[in-house]
Every structure is written in structure tokens, then in C-alpha cells.
Amino acid sequence: MRPLIVIGNWKMNGSLANNEDWIKVVCKGMEQGMPAGRKFAVCAPAPYLAQCNALIQKCSLAFMSLGAQDVSAHASGAFTGEASASMLRELGCNYVIVGHSERRHMHHETDGLIAEKALQVLDQGMTPVICIGESADERNSGRAVEVVRGQIAKQVAVLQDRLADCLIAYEPVWAIGTGKVASAQLAQDMHRAIRLQLAEFDEDVASHVGILYGGSVKPDNAVELFAMPDIDGGLIGGASLNPQDFLAICQS
């Protein structure tokens, strides 16, 4: 049985004061009760990871953890501005987002580079959250499944059965930050297609891997999305900035 996992992605938002308030509100809310067997994480900007780790440690909820939004594809060396997976591990991260569409588009990240980043994360004992998803043009031209299959094929080629220890986040680009959420059925159909493709490689990997949905998830649409059999949780951007909305989504 795969656990439901909800991960917040603050993107480049936050401040020392806001982060402290957010973690206090969310921890207090979670202490009052969360459905059993679920996992939660928040992916903070890199400069705030140490602060957020200390605050999350204080609330000591086994099911709440910390994540980062990106990682270097290299272990160490002359890569000015980058942070390695071992550094993120030392700062208390359990999850690392790789290949978010904003990085694919603004920083020209390729599927190959994203798989290399995922390997670094796995080698440090953390869980990569590998983002995939088609653009509006790709969907409108009937190529959504083909595009997503291509992205998955590249991850399978590099990661092989280590994919069982990853999370996949299906995030249609047209739904990210736009308020245009995919219908629960559309998301379920794509998640199913992804799982079937993974089963072509290895049934065990397909049944273990968590596939999260991301793209304008809000408290009022999370219940329907999370009820779908192949949707194992969500990657939440904008709505994760509000601690009450994040809590409501975690309870969905």
C-alpha cells in the first residue's frame, strides 16, 4: 500500500519570520491530528533549510519532513552557486525536487541532467521528487502522453530499478500556478499511463513508486484528486504558502 504524500513547494518565497510562523502553525495543526499513514514535507528555499530543519525538529512529528527544491548533478567541486546532495542531507532534507518545470524552462534542464540529479539524491539516501509533464501546446496538439512517456523513458534508462525509491510528480505545465487544475479524471488517466509504462519495465517498481499530482491543487480540489487510485498525493506550490491551506490539503 503506497502512503499518501503531500509536499509543499514554497518556490522563491519566504522570510525568516514567515517561515517560523508557517512551521509553528502547521506543526500545531498536525499535532491536533492527521489521518494515519500519511507523509508530509515542505521544500524551502536553500538559504532557509537550516532554519526550517531546526524548527521541524522541534515539533518532532515523524511524518513531517524537509525538502529542497533543486540539487547539483555533481558531488563536489568547482560548481559556483550549486548545492550538493550531501549538503542538503546535512541540512536535514529527506526529499529533493528535481526537474521542476520552472527549472526545465528557465534553466534549460534536460531529462538526462534531471536523472543525474536524482542519482545524486538517491546516493545520499534521500528521495528525489522527479517532475514531469507536458506543456499546453503539447497537450493541445494531442502529444501529452507521448511527451510524458519520453520523459519517463529517460528516467527508466538511467535510474532503472532505483526508480522504486523515487517519487514522480506529474505536473502539467499548463496547470502550474495558473489556477487551471487538471480534472481528477485527466490526472488519473495520465498517472495510470505512467504506472503502466513503468510496469513494462518492472511490475515491482510500478507498484511501489508514488506518483504525485501537481498543478493548482487547492483545499477545494484536493479531495477529489487524492481519491483517485493512481494519485498518491500532491506537490503543492502556491497553496502551500498559506499554512491553513496547506493543512487543509494535508487533511484531504
Query: What amino acid positions are annotated as catalytic residues?
Result: 100, 171
Please report how close the Cβ of residue 192 comes to ligand PEP at its closest, in angstroms: 20
d(CA 216, CA 235): 9
Gyration radius of the chain's alpha carbons: 17
Is 85 or 235 the residue whose CB approaches ligand PEP more closely? 235
Q: Which residue is nearest to ligand PEP (CB)?
A: 237
Per-residue cell: 190: 495520465
Please report how close the Cβ of residue 167 comes to ligand PEP at its closest, in angstroms: 12
Binding residues vs ligand PEP (CB under 6 A): 9, 11, 100, 171, 176-177, 214-217, 235-239
Is 214 or 243 the residue whose CB approaches ligand PEP more closely? 214
CB atoms within 10 A of CB 115: 23
| Cα atoms in the 13 Å half-sphere on the side-chain side of 110 | 5
Please report how close the Cβ of residue 76 comes to ligand PEP at its closest, in angstroms: 28
d(CA 219, CA 239): 8
Look at the chain and count its residues: 252
Is 187 or 206 the residue whose CB approaches ligand PEP more closely? 187
Is 59 or 186 the residue whose CB approaches ligand PEP more closely? 186
Is 155 or 174 the residue whose CB approaches ligand PEP more closely? 174
Per-residue cell: 67: 525538502
d(CA 243, CA 36): 20
Please report how close the Cβ of residue 48 comes to ligand PEP at its closest, in angstroms: 17
d(CA 251, CA 234): 12
d(CA 195, CA 199): 6
Which string of b and e fits 146-174 if b means at least 16 CB within 10 Å? Answer: ebbbebbebbbeebeeebbbbbbbbbbbb
Please report how close the Cβ of residue 180 comes to ligand PEP at its closest, in angstroms: 9
